[in-house]
Chain A
Amino acid sequence: MVSGKVAHMKAPPFAYARATSVDHALDMLSMHGEGAKLLSGGQSLLPAMNLRLMSPDIVIDIGDLTGLRGISIQSDVIRIGALTRHVELLESPEIARLAPLLAEAARHIAHPAIRNRGTIGGSLAHADPAAELPACMVVLDATIVVRARGGERRIAATDFFQGIFATALSADELLVAVELPIGRGPATYFFHEFARRHGDYALAGVAARATSDAQVLSEVRMAFFGIADKPILAKAATSLINVRGTPERIFDAAEAFGRELDPSEDQQASADLRRHLAKVLFRRCAETLLGFEPVL
């Protein structure tokens, strides 16, 4: 006998609890393990439940945990609470000043109504390979702060994202904040993504940060999203460090980057297209960071 599984669009039944504190949330996570799903913005969880792709036993709403909100500056880091909504990243003067890349990335996240609800914690924990914020975390050397009943863990962004919808979070852990190092001197940023329509998930995108002096890069990090199962740091970018940036060197580095990749394939784009767009992004990114006139 085969049971008749077909996609339907009313969410399956689940229990619901509102966490009154982080500890309360952690207790419930421990109790329910894989059967629990955390609800913050809900902009990824609810579509999945409505499409019956996810059927948790219990949904733990952490929306009341005001301690997880807010953007604060603490000596050499800017700390962003997990429940910070994307619209707040767009409107925050601190982000604009200290992490403008995040504001630029947030502009590309879906549409206004989604940005009013979606949270940075939710986006990072969800780890959609085509999402903007995970790549930004990788590029900005962010530390993901997570808490379990046993205590707090601090995970480097480069270690946090492990695959499609897969992170270093275990089932009993709650992402509480991200910390971005600041005060490391002037830097140039670059952000661009290729999407078929405004607000769509990117077919390929890049978030980058560099420090440079007269067309020589002293530091560069380029994190690509939408092309693989998680954000990819371009190793080939390092070939542009401490050398005079030239169109030939940039072209070669872009080609090398293309060879690093094993891009994903889906209805929106073939692997070949993703690889190609990634190389185009690499080139345009490098040109901008080096101060050339990019053709966008």
Chain B
Amino acid sequence: MTTTKKTEGLSASDRPNSYIGKTVPRPNLDRLMQGRGAYVSDIELPRMAHVAFLRSPHAHARIRSIDGSAARQMPGVIAVVDGNELSATITPWIGVLSHLKGLKSAPQHAIAPDRACWQGEAVAAIVATSRALAEDASEVVLVDYEVLDAVTDMRAALDPKTPIIHPSLGDNLAFERLYSAGEVDQAFAASDEVVEAEFVFGRHTGVTLEPRAVVADWNSADARLTIYQGTQAPHMVQNIAAHHLGLSEQQVRVVCKDVGGSFGIKVHIYADEMATYALSKLLRRPIRFVADRVESFNTDIHARDHRCIGRVGVARDGTIRAFEIDDLTGIGPYSMYPRTSAIEANQVVNLVGGPYMTKSYRARTRVVFQNKNVMCQYRAVGHPIACAITEGLVDLAAARIGMDPIEIRRRNLIADDAYPCGSPTGLRFEKLSHQASLAKLVEMMGYDELRAEQVALRKKNIHRGIGIASFIEVTNPSAAFYGVGGARISSQDGVAVRLDGQGAVICQTSITEQGQGSEAITAQIVATALGVSLERVRVILGDTDNTPYGGGTWASRGAGIGGEAALQAAKALRSNILEVAAAILQSAPDELDIANDAVVNASDRATRMELRELARIVYFRPDTLPPGMQPELMATRHYVPREFPFAFTNGIQASWLEVDTETGFIKLLKHWVVEDCGTMINPQLVDEQIRGGVVQGLGAALFEKCIYDERGQLTNANMADYLVPMSGEMPDIDVGHVVSPTLESELGAKGAGEAGTAGAAAAVINAVNDALRPSGTIITEIPLTPDVILRALGRI
């Protein structure tokens, strides 16, 4: 007997007709393109009512009294509920994790009972038969506020004269972390040049096109709460809703249907959503809450509000001797729950200098409370800040010693054969490819030609710039991220696969879909590992009643963790199928394989039995099976990373742009990304994640900023005044890859969802400074508005 191929123990990519590494269209795109998706705001349930929240117009105010009597008389009004009343139904929470030493926060309620701490915090809920009627009624709810001083400047938050938002906490410091590695002072002293700059990042937010929306349905007869919500982490929501409503997890079901964008915005626990769950229980009917756009700006988590002084020490030969940062970030009045508002700053400390060999590093970060909207994890959490600072300092060092930005990186990026190794902050790298990625980028972008073009155009007073940004990216997090701190956020995921009565495949996975292609890659992996055609695989996700227990999709973990679970489950099912098939066909499992929806000979690939037929026998004619046989056509496997706390990926980006030095306007000409995320299950989906992520970063670089005035009022809470990137201003983005699979899993996939956002703004900042280099102007602030550019140039 000759075997032309190994079948048992094949890696995922080796199997005949493998879908791994193939660009195949996602299933179920049709319903989205026909306008037949099912988003939460499309859901209608019998007796469903609508809630509008009355929100504090003040950044900080004591609530002396709330009079809802007039509102209750308004047409269609079912209930007017304040924080004190609602607190009988739902308990408050505190957003801390024990492994973030010293992190402190105050209890936050679903509806503020005594005190509103940011403009937009809900102080009452009005439930009515329509949203419009609820809004009408909210206008006649009388609230007596005692306006309090607001803390609105993070730089002053720790001044003794500044009021303390939560006196019981003693000060406005939520979290501080100090870190030092290597001999930092000696390293700076030994440097030929030391460059310092202050980096300022505009607070911004996700602006998901579908706003946050929840339908909470308490069925008092079943004593069960069904929550329809576009959350990335349904089991987490299940756990938290149950906990704070005094229910067991079994009494809560979370269902995620189509989600109109999330990017981390919809992975957190929001007071108004918790209030909606509680209102449903209180009023014993379904309640729908859909945030409107103004509400979204005022209450969706904000992110990336940082001011950071960065220093770099460099030798004349280009060796970077040391990095140092002193970072300050102003969050809201509460640390967000349950993932905390200290993670972003913690990441900044962890990630600065990450791609480089430099061993000496010192960092301080302070996270301070403010009377502004809450802040928490948003796509690429902390990476855009760390990358902009690191890459900005590297470019400044290069300019100071007169070295090309590519050359200084070549000299300092960790060598591709140095692995496994670690960062000064204790991050463990399994295998990265900084040098290969750099080389590939240089080739892809035609670096030398662009430099020549830059020189030629400068003579005509046209200022173009090239900006480079290398980065590392956290993916596939283990329990090290949240679990160790006490959060009930699962770091493992599970997949159950089974054959149905026709021999087709049903697959249930605990990861979730927000458009990145979780459904698609799960199907591709399962189809490949089983040997079935993709069309015969149906994926069920986003339902705590009908999927294994898991973490969901966030921190770029869906492919790496959920994908591995899918692979192992499918392999287990394959094994079970072959065992039954062998018994029926009087063969041995290792003489058989599954291909094209049928059991075949491993040797000559001849069809022995269609899966349809095998299913028929197992489900309907088990009397024909060998005695005692109990076939099992369903298998479940879970997967959790055990070896590395995070699967780091690496990448490098370049921006090519033109600065009009007369008007301050920037034109983005082109963008490149080289990304190494290990095994790519669907290359097109990876590239599209990167493109979408890049454009979010470009938006941050040029346009996006939540503008607060000194009274803590968000002055641009609408889409005309908060500028998001639209198609007219965005460049084409070329994406290339290097592939360094992780050996920890069989699939070898790392994550890719956030890489685009991690480095895009950094590349743009560096490109602008590169364009302006002849004038000596250095700008280290985003967004790079015309005002910022022209002021830096001294033209206004």
Contacts and interface: CB of A to CB of B under 8 A. Distances in A.
Do A and B contact each other directly (Cβ–Cβ < 8 Å)?
Answer: yes
Q: Is the interface of A mostly helix, strand, loop or mixed?
A: loop
A198 B728 contact: yes
B159 interface: no
Nearest to A3: B142
Given A2-B145, A196-B723, A197-B729, A8 B138 contact: yes
A15 interface: no
A11 B132 contact: yes
A194 B718 contact: no
Interface stretch (A31-39, A79-87, A273-281): A273-281
Contacts of B136: 12-13
B135 A8 contact: yes
B140 interface: yes
Interface string B121-161: 00110000001100110111111110000000000000000
B68 to A, nearest CB: 10
B790 A8 contact: no
Which of A11, A201, A203 has the most chain B CB atoms closer than 10 A to its own CB? A203
A196 B56 CA distance: 32
A272 interface: yes
Interface stretch (B224-232, B463-471, B617-625, B662-670): B662-670
A5 B57 contact: yes
Interface string A161-186: 00000000000000000000000000
A7 interface: yes
Contacts of A6: 54-57, 138
Contacts of B57: 4-6
B271 interface: no
A52 B132 CA distance: 11
Interface string B654-675: 0000000011110000000000
A96 interface: no
Contacts of B295: 9
A267 interface: yes
A277 B663 contact: yes
B796 A9 contact: no
B93 interface: no
Contacts of A270: 787, 796
A203 B717 contact: no
B428 interface: no
Q: Assign chain A's interface to a size class.
A: 20 to 34
A13 B135 CA distance: 11
Contact of A272 (B716, B721, B728, B796): B796
Given A2-B142, A4-B138, A12-B136, A273 B728 contact: no
Given A3-B139, A273-B786, A8 B292 contact: yes
Interface string B770-793: 000000000000000111001100
Contact of A276 (B707, B715, B795): B795
A278 B123 CA distance: 45
Contacts of A5: 57, 139
Contacts of B145: 2
A3 to B, nearest CB: 6
Contacts, number: 102
Given A3-B139, A3-B142, A198 B729 contact: yes
Interface in A121-157: none
A267 B707 contact: yes
B790 A196 contact: no
Contacts of A269: 786-787
B380 to A, nearest CB: 23
A51 B697 CA distance: 29
B442 to A, nearest CB: 32
Nearest to B721: A267
B292 A268 contact: no
Nearest to A1: B142
Contacts of A12: 135-136, 139
Contacts of B169: none
Contact of B143 (A2, A10, A51): A2
Interface in A2-55: 2-13, 51-52
Given A2-B144, A8-B52, A198 B139 contact: no
B319 to A, nearest CB: 41
B1 interface: no
A194 B787 contact: no
A280 B662 contact: yes
A280 B142 CA distance: 51
Given A8-B138, A280-B662, A198 B726 contact: yes
A201 B785 CA distance: 15
B22 interface: no
B67 interface: yes
Contact of A4 (B54, B728, B785): B54
Given A194-B663, A197-B723, A276-B796, A4 B293 contact: no
Contact of B132 (A3, A10, A196, A280): A10
Interface in B38-84: 52, 54-57, 67
B294 interface: yes
Nearest to A13: B136
B481 interface: no
A9 B135 CA distance: 8
A9 B662 contact: no
B114 to A, nearest CB: 16
B718 A51 contact: yes
B425 to A, nearest CB: 37
Given A2-B143, A4-B139, A4-B142, A280 B726 contact: no
Contacts of B644: none
Contacts of B124: 4
Contacts of B56: 6
Interface string B278-307: 000000000000001111000000000000
Contacts of A196: 703, 723, 729, 785-786
Contacts of A273: 664, 786-787, 790, 796
A199 B728 CA distance: 9
Given A1-B67, A269-B787, A280-B663, A197 B142 contact: no
Given A276-B795, A276-B796, A277-B663, A9 B294 contact: yes
Nearest to A196: B723
B717 A276 contact: no
B276 to A, nearest CB: 17
Given A2-B145, A198-B728, A269-B787, A51 B131 contact: no
A5 B119 CA distance: 12
Nearest to B796: A272
Contact of A9 (B54, B292, B716, B785): B292
A268 B721 contact: yes
Nearest to A12: B136
A209 B707 CA distance: 38
B698 to A, nearest CB: 12
A3 B140 contact: yes
Contact of B726 (A194, A197, A267): A197
Nearest to B133: A10
Contacts of A268: 721
20 contacts: A3-B142, A4-B124, A4-B143, A5-B57, A6-B56, A6-B57, A6-B138, A8-B52, A8-B138, A8-B294, A10-B135, A10-B292, A51-B294, A52-B135, A194-B665, A196-B723, A197-B729, A268-B721, A273-B787, A275-B796
Given A9-B295, A11-B132, 11 more contacts: A3-B139, A3-B140, A8-B135, A9-B135, A10-B132, A10-B135, A12-B139, A13-B136, A199-B726, A269-B786, A270-B796
Give the top 10 A-B pairs by smallest Cβ distance, nearest first. A198-B728, A9-B292, A10-B132, A8-B135, A272-B796, A4-B143, A7-B294, A6-B55, A1-B142, A267-B716
